[in-house]
């Protein structure tokens, strides 16, 4: 049986990563787990986030995946190193890919990062950016109001626009030329964020960069799929499967036309 790429997130945000992985690696099968019953992870303690991430990884390793992608910045910041030590397969987070892409993109070395309270307070982006280059200046801002918008499927309403504008107002004061969307939920709000930040700021999506990095790591380990058939993906969530399915269908569209249902997993929790 074809080994899959396992992707996990606190909810639907990781679907932005899944979409890019399906687009950039269309031969690969994806198994996705969204912890929609316990979203958002942003305000939780890192102990809680580590515990939840471990539970989901325990569930996913049953499928013998070739790689695990922690498609959640909060979980990457809290649990990536922990999970890397725990399992014997490659584990990819979303923070270093975003940091690398931002350093590649910036011309002025002034980089902004927005994320959940957990991600921003961890300092993980600043650390990753400074590890690569001591010359960058980093401005960070927590935007706790954005994930709830996305989990409710509200991406373009007046309310969504106002919430994005208010959340980003402090970031607009800094002379950044590159902004890392340091939460996998934020690409759902790209249009609003672009409008608020203006054309002089390049947005870096963890989703795009993490998909490329997954491709790089699978290639390095000689684990890229070679099959000719269109893979059939699998989706699991811990909360209401109908809400999840509705967001997944609208975001992924054609890419999951062969995927019949979303399975709700509750026993593990």
Rounded to the nearest whole angstrom, what is the least distance from the CB of residue 229 to a second copy in the complex? 10
Window 129-148: residues binding a second copy (CB under 8 A): 131-135
Binding of a second copy by 152 (CB under 8 A) = no
How far apart, in whole angstroms, are the C-alpha atoms of residue 209 and residue 95? 10
How far apart CA 77 and CA 33 sit, in angstroms, is 18
**Known binder of ligand: residue 42?**
yes
Least distance CB 145 / a second copy (angstroms): 30
143, 183, 192, 237: the catalytic one is 183
**Interacting span for a second copy (CB under 8 A) from 40-48, 167-175, 184-192, 206-214:** 206-214
Residues binding a second copy: number (CB under 8 A):
29
Q: Does residue 199 interact with a second copy by CB under 8 A? A: no
Q: Using an 8 Å Cβ cutoff, are 258 and 232 in contact?
A: yes
| Nearest to a second copy of 90, 148 (CB atom) | 90
Q: What mask of x and - would describe binding to a second copy in positions 83 to 102, judged by CB under 8 A?
A: -------x-----xx--xx-
192 is catalytic: no
Closer residue to a second copy in complex, CB, 26/175: 26
Residue 10 annotated as binding? Answer: yes
- Check binding of 215 to a second copy (CB under 8 A): yes
**Touching a second copy, residues 26-45 (CB under 8 A):** 26-27
Residues 219-248 close enough to bind a second copy by CB under 8 A: 219-220, 224, 226, 228
Q: Which of 177, 217, 243, 264 binds a second copy (CB under 8 A)?
A: 217
Copy the structure tokens of residue 125. Answer: 């982006």
User: Considering only residues 89, 212, 246, 264, which one is a binding residue for a second copy as defined by CB under 8 A?
Assistant: 212
**Among this protein's residues, is 237 annotated catalytic?**
no
In terms of phi and psi (left: phi > 0; alpha: psi -120 to 50; beta: otherwise), the region of 29 is beta
Q: Check residue 256 for interaction with a second copy (CB under 8 A).
A: no
CA dist 39 and 158 (Å) reads: 24
- Helix H, strand E, coil C: the string for the chain is CCCCEEEEECCCCCHHHHHHHHHHCCCCCEEEEECCCCCCCCCCCHHHHHHHHHHHHHHHHCCCCCEEEECCHHHHHHHHHHHHHHCCCCEECCHHHHHHHHHHHCCCCEEEEEECHHHHHHCHHHHHHHHHCCCCEEEEEECCCHHHHHHCCCCCCHHHHHHHHHHHCCHHHCCCCEEEECCCCHHHHHHHHHHHHCCCCEEEEHHHHHHHHHHHHHHHCCCCCCCCCCCCCEEEECCCHHHHHHHHHHHHHHHHCCCCCEEECCCCC
Q: Is 208 in the site for a second copy (CB under 8 A)?
A: yes
Q: Which residues bind a second copy (CB under 8 A)?
A: 20, 24-27, 90, 96-97, 100-101, 103-104, 131-135, 208, 211-213, 215-217, 219-220, 224, 226, 228
Catalytic site positions: 72, 183
Binding residues: 9-10, 41-42, 73-74, 184-185
């Amino acid at each position: 049986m074809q080994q899959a790429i396992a992707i996990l997130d606190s909810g639907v945000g990781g679907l932005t990563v899944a979409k890019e992985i399906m687009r950039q690696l269309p031969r690969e099968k994806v198994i996705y787990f969204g912890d929609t019953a316990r979203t958002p992870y942003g305000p939780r303690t890192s102990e809680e986030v580590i515990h939840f991430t471990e539970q989901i990884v325990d569930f996913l390793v049953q499928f013998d995946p070739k790689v695990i992608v922690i498609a959640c910045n909060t979980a990457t910041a809290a649990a990536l190193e922990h999970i890397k030590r725990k399992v014997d397969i490659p584990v990819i987070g979303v923070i270093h890919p975003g940091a690398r892409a931002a350093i590649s993109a910036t011309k002025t070395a002034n980089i902004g990062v927005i994320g959940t309270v957990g991600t921003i307070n961890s300092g993980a982006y600043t650390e990753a950016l400074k590890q690569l280059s001591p010359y960058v200046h980093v401005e960070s801002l927590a935007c706790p109001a954005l994930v709830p918008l996305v989990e409710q499927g509200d991406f373009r309403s007046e309310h969504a626009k106002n919430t994005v504008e208010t959340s980003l107002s402090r970031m607009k004061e800094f002379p950044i030329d590159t902004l890392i969307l340091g939460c996998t939920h934020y690409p759902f709000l790209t249009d609003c964020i672009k409008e608020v930040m203006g054309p002089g700021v390049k947005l870096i999506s963890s989703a795009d960069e993490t998909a490329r990095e997954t491709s790089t790591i699978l290639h390095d380990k000689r684990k890229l799929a070679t099959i000719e058939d269109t893979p059939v993906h699998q989706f699991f969530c811990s909360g209401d499967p109908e809400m999840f399915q509705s967001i997944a269908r609208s975001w992924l569209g054609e890419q999951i036309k062969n995927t019949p249902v979303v399975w709700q997993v509750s026993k593990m929790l």
